[in-house]
Amino acid sequence: MKQINFSKIPQAQELPDLLEMQKRSFKDFLQEDVSAEERKLQGLQAAFMDVFPIESADASMVLDFVRYKLSPTRYSTVEEAQAHDASFSTTLKAVLRLSSRQPSGKLKQIIEQEVVLCDIPLMTETASFVINGAERVVVSQLHRSPGIVFEEDEEKKISSLGRKLYFARIIPYRGAWIEFEFDLNNALYVRVDRKKKFPATAFLRACGIETDAELLQIFYPYTEMKVAPETAEQILRRICCEDVVDRSTGEVLLEARHPVTHESIKRMLDKGIQKIKVLSGSPEKDNPTIWETLRKDPYKSAKEAQQEIYKKLRGQEFIVPGQAEQYLDNLIFKNLRKYDLSHVGRYKIQKKLQPLFQALTDRKDLSFEMPSERRRTLTGEDLIVTMQYVILLNSGDATFDYEGKRCKVEIDDIDHLGNRRVRGVGELLENQIRVGLAQMSRVIRDRMSVQDKSLLTPRSLLNTAPLVGILRKFFGTSQLSQFMDQINPLAELTHKRRLSALGPGGLNRKRAGFEVRDVHHTHYGRICPIETPEGPNIGLITSLACLARVNKYGLIESPYRKVTKGKLVGEVDYLPADIEDEHIVAQANAPLEGNHFAADLVACRHRGDFPQTDPAKVNYMDVSPLQVVSVSAALIPFLEHDDANRALMGSNMQRQAVPLLETQPPLVATGIEDRVAQDSGACVVAKRPGKVLYATGDIIAVNTGSGKESDIDIYPLRKYTRSNQDTCINQVPVIEPNATVKKGDVLADGPATKNGQLALGALEHLDEGGIVIPSTNVRPGDILVGKVTPKGEQQLTPEERLLKVIFGKKAEDVQDASLRVPPGVQGKILGVRVFVRREKLTKQDEKKRIQDIDGRLENSLKVLREYRAEQTAELKKMQGVKKKEEEERLGIFFKLMEKKLREDAAREKEDVKQGDDLPVTVNKVVKVYVASKRKLQAGDKLAGRHGNKGVVAKILPEEDMPFLPDGTPLDVVLSPLGVPSRMNVGQLLEMMLGWAAHTLGAQMVNPVFDSAKESEIYDMIKKAKEKLRSDGVPEKYLPTDDCRITLYDGRTGLPFQEKVSIGYMYILKLIHLVEDKIHARSTGPYSLITRQPLGGKAQFGGQRFGEMEVWAIEGYGAAYALQEFLTVKSDDVAGRTKMYEAIIKGEPPQAPGTPESFKVLIKELQALGLNVELLKLNLDGKKASSEAKPAQKAAVGR
């Protein structure tokens, strides 16, 4: 079908691989293809390096990590693992070296061994994981980035100076949080891990900046002045910023932080002191914070400060010498295992405080250095600069000068995407493995100290259970490891591109406020503002925008075209949110003349503003309008004409569309359907260019070179397999043998795709369905697997005992435990799989299974030979060199295919001999797959792509439907009231353009925010009408220019009064099928406490007859019906039995008894100490009896 594209903006950037984020994250974690020596310090390698070496308590033994390697497990393909309900994984092995030393320190012996640690699930080609046979996705987490944050103090509103108070928080990737906060008198304090606070200067002393003199010189400007009688007046009352010492005696003449007095001047002159350092100004005015803090800081030395901090943090009075210093070093400064800022944290700190760092390290009088980018713990410089910044904030200075530049001082916005980062699969796994290894290291240290050291080896030291358990728990039960949404390829793709703010280390949906969920200006081009669930997770679960990518720090970047001096340069830069804030960005639809902006003023974005800017000041330009939205939203044509709330529903409902039997691509598309179909893995795509040798329903072979075995690519197709949501996955070849293909060409269609394009819905006839395979038809109640179980041993009567003696086992009482088709299910049996434990497999069964495998192999080889005969006959017509080449190529291909078939059969036979891995208590498992066709019926949910959803109200015969003047009946009739209040006008434009597309036989491509204008749609309709006129269609059969026409009532044949809009709309059938929802209960399970029926279809429960329904029955005065609802049909246990008896015997039913829930209420009251008696009255009102037992009659509540 030809395409007509309405987009006007040239796309400067192609869509990337849509699963790149997941694939790259996992690849960086495993580093499978990298040699052990060249592996980077990330992923698995980083986890090992962080935990090892492990040293014994007496340092006589050290266990070192040498390298790790990955080896294949039992199941070589994903399909095989799924068939056996196993995980598709690789075995992680590590080479460890154990060195032991003699007490003298001399090396005693070294043992190196390879040990098996655990199985790590492998990512499939489509970025999912197979865990216990089910496909799962590990969703990326959006969490608060480590680094430094400056915020306004919400608890303490205003200081004694009448100013707002601020605080700084240093957040590491793991380790203690450090917070700087002010008290009401403007003194600065530090809290470590939200414990007791202490003066900030005491913290600096503990870091090694211990004297008052050093502290004053860092935070205040000072000058060196002469001490002489003539300068006495100038230095009088100035604050001294170093200890003035008599060099001959060592006596301190004037301490730092004290003002110069007449007496101190006299003493200094007496002792021959010529110069002293004094502060340039008044400390109370220049920097009152540090002055106030020093006043409240009682400590004089580093040791004293360290000990006091240790006491406050640990709550211990007695301290071993050196323990306090070591504790602080471990807590913050030196031990990477306890405190890790990570590369991101260091990058954020350097970026935020760069000018202050520079100013500090440029000072010649101080010996400070800029912390290295690779330094992942805190330094004294970090603390000083943080204090300087928070003091600047608190003093109300919005800027400061550095090297002639004005540098801004501002608080941070925690919802800004510069302060939130993405943790991919790799990082989440790395953290889990690090925890597992750390737990393992504790066991190793214990064994080193307890066991005989001469017998120890790396293998005997290890206990891998914690590591295995943690990985199993992560993949099986973590909030971020989710059962894959597999309704259709789009659902699969979107699930893998999802970002979640929930999960361990993230937010809690109950506590998350409005700000976190809201759209932020930094989301532009990074996170989709439309696609998010409705309900409690709104805004917490989001989707990555089409062109966004995640950088090495985990920050989301968006692509922009570079602009210099008003001219577009060819290059595209990826910018994270914090760097984009420094630039002015023009929109993608800004009018251009060549490479220059056409207008004098350009509409731009800068932070949250939209200024009209001079082109010379513009730094970047958007790449494409597509970069704003996610894949789902980008599939909605005319998205810009829909209200955002409806667009949200539209993008969410496309994920719920059931794949149809007959797929149809949309007539009005957005142009990215093919990329979604291919990147999601639904279609089979050629990996290399070549020629198709062989194409059948279940295999495609492509020759990519001279015909050697390595040049033949074989693509197996998935046939009629079940998806996670019970929809059908089937791949069908779309190419013929001998066709030439390029890399990236579509070889086979999958579910919900047509010719490599995503096709979720249907245009005209809404006949939907699953699969048809000639096999047994089954209905509800049919037996699928026959099975009987013996009843428990019971006392036998003498007659039964006699029967048992005569007939033996046959007379045993058994109960039927067969697997039957559940109610509401009918269809055809697709396949049956039987799994048996090795020891339970009889020789006869084994022989039969092997015969089946041999039979299948013979059939496959027969088909192959027939195909070869056909091809050889074709080749006989050819001549010369080409004929010889083709014959050779075919020979190699058939050898390869035969080898492959025989290998598969051999592997299957091996599996039969090994038996299946089943749980200990299970001997045999039978799985029956039933496929059912779902035809459209009343109650099914349909939807368009614009959030216009609804339930089929009625299905009429074709002849009763309204029809067009030429007799064409309509397929679907929608109410016009569904448009105005919902404001999704896109559906009307789609319908009109769809009519033109169908008439002209072309697909209309309308990219989001760059689609056909109304005038262009009208032009297309006129063009279509012209075509029909030229084909001889009478004028009365044509719609008006706005696509409205007079319809006729199918029942009466009379025309409707008003003209009606008609056209072709793309309609999806959603997975909410009425057949899966409809449910009726006869008798079934009851709740244990209330004795009322359970609820829900899965439990075979009843319908709740609630408070409002009771009112309705009361309104009708149907007292007996109501009494029955509330007693016998609900929780009157005795009444149920009596009613059953009465019906069986044909007697009139007795009066209902007391409902169980009333008895529960009485028990609740008795539990509160209130003795409640239920008194029954006769018809004359006299007391008849009490239901309370005599023992209960004693009043409990006095």
pLDDT digits (tens, 9 = 90+) for 31-51: 999 999 999 999 999 999 999
> Which has the minimum average pLDDT: 275-284, 345-354, 572-581?
275-284
Average pLDDT over residues 571-578: 94
Assess if residue 860 is contained within a domain: no
Q: Examine residue 298 and state whether it is found in any structural domain, yes or no.
A: yes
Q: Which residue has the higher pLDDT, 500 or 276?
A: 500
E strands, 880-1015, in order: 924-931, 941-943, 949-951, 1002-1005
Residue that terminates a domain, selected from 1038, 1054, 1074: 1074
Q: What pLDDT digit, counting tens, does each position of 421-462 carry?
A: 999 999 999 999 999 999 999 999 999 888 888 888 999 999
Looking at per-residue pLDDT, the higher value among 1139 and 455 belongs to: 1139
Q: Nearest CA to 1068 among 749, 672, 759, 754?
A: 759
pLDDT on residue 1195? 41
Average pLDDT, rounded, for the chain = 87
pLDDT of residue 775: 54
Q: Which CATH number goes with the domain that contains 726?
A: 2.40.50.100
Do residues 689 and 1015 lie in contact, with contact meaning Cβ atoms separated by under 8 Å?
no
- The stretch 505-514 carries a mean pLDDT of 90
What mean pLDDT is predicted for residues 740-751?
A: 92
- CA dist., res. 247 & res. 391, Å (int): 37
pTM: 0.88
Q: Is residue 899 in a domain?
A: no
Residue whose C-alpha is closest to residue 945's, from 998, 1002, 1003, 1008:
1008
- Identify the pLDDT of residue 450: 86
CA distance 545 to 497: 9
Asked, for residue 639, whether it belongs to a domain, the answer is no
pLDDT tops 90 at residue 907: no
- Asked if residue 159 and residue 138 are part of one domain, the reply reads no
pLDDT at position 208 over 80: yes
**Which range (260-269, 512-521, 729-738) has the least confidence?**
260-269
**Domain extent at residue 958:** 941-1017+1024-1074
Strand 498-500 vs strand 541-543: parallel, antiparallel, or unpaired?
Answer: antiparallel
Q: Are residues 126 and 167 in the same domain?
A: no
Confidence of residue 789 (pLDDT cuts 50, 70, 90): low
Residue 332's pLDDT band, with cuts at 50, 70 and 90, is confident
Q: Are residues 630 and 756 both part of a single domain? A: no
**Domain holding 1154: CATH number?**
3.90.1800.10
Residue 1193 pLDDT grade (very low, low, confident, very high; cuts 50, 70, 90): very low
Residue 386 is assigned to a structural domain of this protein: yes
Torsion of CA 107, 109, 114, 115, to 10 degrees: -90
Same domain for 1114 and 1138, yes or no, is yes
Least reliable range by pLDDT among 282-286, 294-298, 343-347, 865-869: 282-286
Do strands 498-500 and 140-144 pair parallel, antiparallel, or not at all (unpaired)?
A: parallel
> What's the pLDDT at 707?
63
Domain closes at, from 599, 634, 669: 634
pLDDT tens, position by position, 918-936: 888 888 888 888 888 888 9
Q: Beta-carbon neighbour count of residue 535 at 10 Å? A: 8
Q: How confident is the model at residue 774 (pLDDT cuts 50, 70, 90)?
A: very low
Does residue 414 belong to any structural domain of this protein?
no
pLDDT given at position 1191: 42
Are 522 and 564 found together in one domain? yes
* Structural domains counted in the chain: 8
Q: Facing residues of 576 across strands?
A: 557
The DSSP secondary-structure symbol of 408 reads E
534 burial level (CB within 10 Å; 0-12, 13-18, 19+): exposed
- Domain co-membership, 713 together with 770: yes
CA-based radius of gyration for the chain: 39
**What pLDDT, on a 0 to 100 scale, did the predictor assign at position 1185?**
56
Are residues 1113 and 1061 part of one domain? no
Residues 66, 105, single domain; the answer is yes
On whether residue 898 sits in a domain, the answer given is: no
319 and 393 part of one domain: yes
For the beta carbon of residue 1153, count every other beta carbon within 10 angstroms: 15
The enclosing domain of 77 has a CATH number of 3.90.1100.10
CATH of the domain at 381: 3.90.1110.10
Contact, 718 vs 729, CB < 8 A?
yes
Residue 1183 is predicted with a pLDDT of 64
- Structure confidence at residue 613 (pLDDT): 93
769 and 789 assigned to the same domain? no
CA 132 to chain centre: 20
- pLDDT of 766 reads 28
Q: Are residues 200 and 334 in the same domain?
A: yes
Q: What is the pLDDT of residues 648-672, one digit of tens each?
A: 999 999 999 999 988 999 999 999 9
| Residues 360-406: tens digit of each pLDDT | 888 887 778 888 888 889 988 899 999 989 888 888 777 777 666 77
Q: Region 225-240: what's the mean pLDDT?
A: 83
Q: Give the pLDDT of residue 1192.
A: 45
What mean pLDDT do residues 1164-1175 have?
90
Residue 215 predicted with pLDDT over 70:
yes
Task: Express as a percent the part of the chain with pLDDT over 70.
Answer: 95
Confidence (pLDDT) at 772: 29
Distances (CA, A) of 430 to 22, 26, 30, 426, 434: 14, 10, 9, 6, 6
Residue 927 placed within a domain: no
**471, 500, 529 — which closes off a domain?**
500
Q: Are the C-beta atoms of 923 and 837 separated by less than 8 Å?
A: yes
* Rounded CA separation 225/227 (Å): 7
pLDDT band, very low/low/confident/very high, at 811 (cuts 50, 70, 90)? low
Q: What are 29-33's contacts with CB under 8 Å, separation 24+?
A: 29/425, 29/426, 29/427, 29/429, 29/430, 30/70, 30/120, 30/426, 32/70
Residue 989 clears pLDDT 60, i.e. is over it: yes
Give the CATH number for residue 274.
3.90.105.10
Once rounded to an integer, what is the mean pLDDT over residues 905-926? 82
Percent over 90 (pLDDT), the chain:
51
pLDDT tens, residue by residue, 124-137: 999 999 999 999 99
Indicate whether 1178 and 1109 sit together in one domain: yes
pLDDT at 1175: 81
